[in-house]
Structure 1
């Protein structure tokens, strides 16, 4: 399946659902219709039993160089409150399947926030991340202050947010913002290769591990462990658990069905 919407390209390669931001002439600047397309497609992939893992990337020289300023420049506080645009972004956190991001070039402002919505994040050597909102007299509004702080801690996050400086892929790796730095020309190939690797894992395990890790970010260790325990028990109601343990005993490869 391959299709082009207004602002993104969508395709399915085997078990991998791929979304590519597609406004290369403006470095994939994110506008509200693009967010709607991304969220809607993510939810469609989440309901598609054939898709096991979702990959998010951008066409052209950038992942996304920020939000579309023309869309916001003349807005008032009341306009934005009534629009309540970030509720669409919230839906990205409800996607149950793993999301793997591939960042080339710039991931700035809203582009960085979108990248931080991924569960695993790979970047090309030329990638640059940052929140330049402060230079515009505003601040991140789609989770940037929260997600960056959770990843690198208060002091370092404060430094990047207050200065608006850009961090290199190497710095992002050092601070735990991304998982790997990959040669630019191999970025998508390696990202899809990794996505295919985890797509072979039992789907229910992928789903409940992702849920449990997300709870760990916000819960106390005790509350997180209770949530983990319930998910562990729940997997013993699946056929994949029976198949996985039987295959181990029989010294063969398991065949998982997501049941």
Structure 2
């Protein structure tokens, strides 16, 4: 329609699944302040909405994101970068309380790669290319990229990515466990939708609690994280969903979870 304002990120919610799509095809979905704010705001909304049970984060079937707009980094001092809203947006994205599935095609580089690897599951099209090219600009991955590769693929893969800036293709990424599944070109989003529908059918309290228990390991020792897991499980056992799930299993019927 004439006068309709284009938004660089679309957000749609259907049947308990929120889909966040980066829409800057002219820039290969490069991240700028507006894109990061829209994504972070959508994640905050998902956290606050008990009806949202899973999130898909994608750039469509051409490119996930070729990285951050370089001019977003220019002019920063050491102090201003640390407190910048752009950097803080990555923290907000990682703070998603619901399971997040990255549906990746084409370029997934720099900050785009850091966002994808912060998701719980990464589904990649066979066109996907992953990399952290920051060293070629005289900087480092500054939004999780020096840590997230190690969590998924180990320190060797992390070193190669961060120290050389060399990208890896989808099948190499799957072989080193950087991604969880590779699908044919044009199928990344539909594969993510299928998985998200499966997640949305689970007990919502248990979904969020499972993610909280898994992510606790990021900031705790193993013993502390195991203790946290026990506490989360104990609280869940007092919920109506847990009672319904156990009762339904014993009665050989499908459970009807209510998120309480």
Q: TM-score range by the shorter chain?
A: over 0.9
Structure 1 SS opposite 2:172: helix
Residue 55 of structure 1 corresponds to which residue in structure 2?
Answer: 56
Residue 67 of structure 1 corresponds to which residue in structure 2?
Answer: 68
Q: TM-score, normalised by structure 1?
A: 0.93
**Do the aligned partners of 2:61 and 2:104 also contact (CA within 8 Å) in 1?**
no
Residue 31 of structure 1 corresponds to which residue in structure 2?
Answer: 32
Structure 2 SS opposite 1:185: coil
Q: After the TM superposition, which residues 77-156 of structure 1 pair with which residues of structure 2 at under 5 Å, given as runs?
A: 77-81=78-82, 83=84, 85-156=86-157
Task: Tell me the distance in 2 between the aligned counterparts of 1:100 and 1:17.
Answer: 10
Shift of 1:60: 5.7
Task: Tell me the distance in 2 between the aligned counterparts of 1:16 and 1:84.
Answer: 27
Task: Tell me the distance in 2 between the aligned counterparts of 1:148 and 1:185.
Answer: 25
**Do the aligned partners of 2:19 and 2:56 also contact (CA within 8 Å) in 1?**
yes
5+ residue gaps, structure 1, are: none
**Do the aligned partners of 2:36 and 2:86 also contact (CA within 8 Å) in 1?**
no
Shift in CA distance, 79/239, structure 1 to aligned 2, threshold 3 Å: closer
Q: 2:258 aligned with 1:257, yes or no?
A: yes
Shift in CA distance, 79/46, structure 1 to aligned 2, threshold 3 Å: closer
Which deviations, in whole Å up to 9, do the C-alpha atoms of 1:165-193 show, x marking residues without a partner?
00111111122211100112222111101
Q: TM-score, normalised by structure 2?
A: 0.93
Structure 1 SS opposite 2:40: helix
**Do the aligned partners of 1:27 and 1:60 also contact (CA within 8 Å) in 2?**
no
Shift of 1:84: 5.7
Which deviations, in whole Å up to 9, do the C-alpha atoms of 1:218-253 show, x marking residues without a partner?
433322211110011010111001101111111111
Shift of 1:255: 0.7
Shift of 1:54: 0.6
Shift of 1:41: 0.9
Q: After the TM superposition, which residues 131-210 of structure 1 pair with which residues of structure 2 at under 5 Å, given as runs?
A: 131-210=132-211
> C-alpha root-mean-square deviation of aligned residues, in Å?
1.8
Shift in CA distance, 185/6, structure 1 to aligned 2, threshold 3 Å: closer
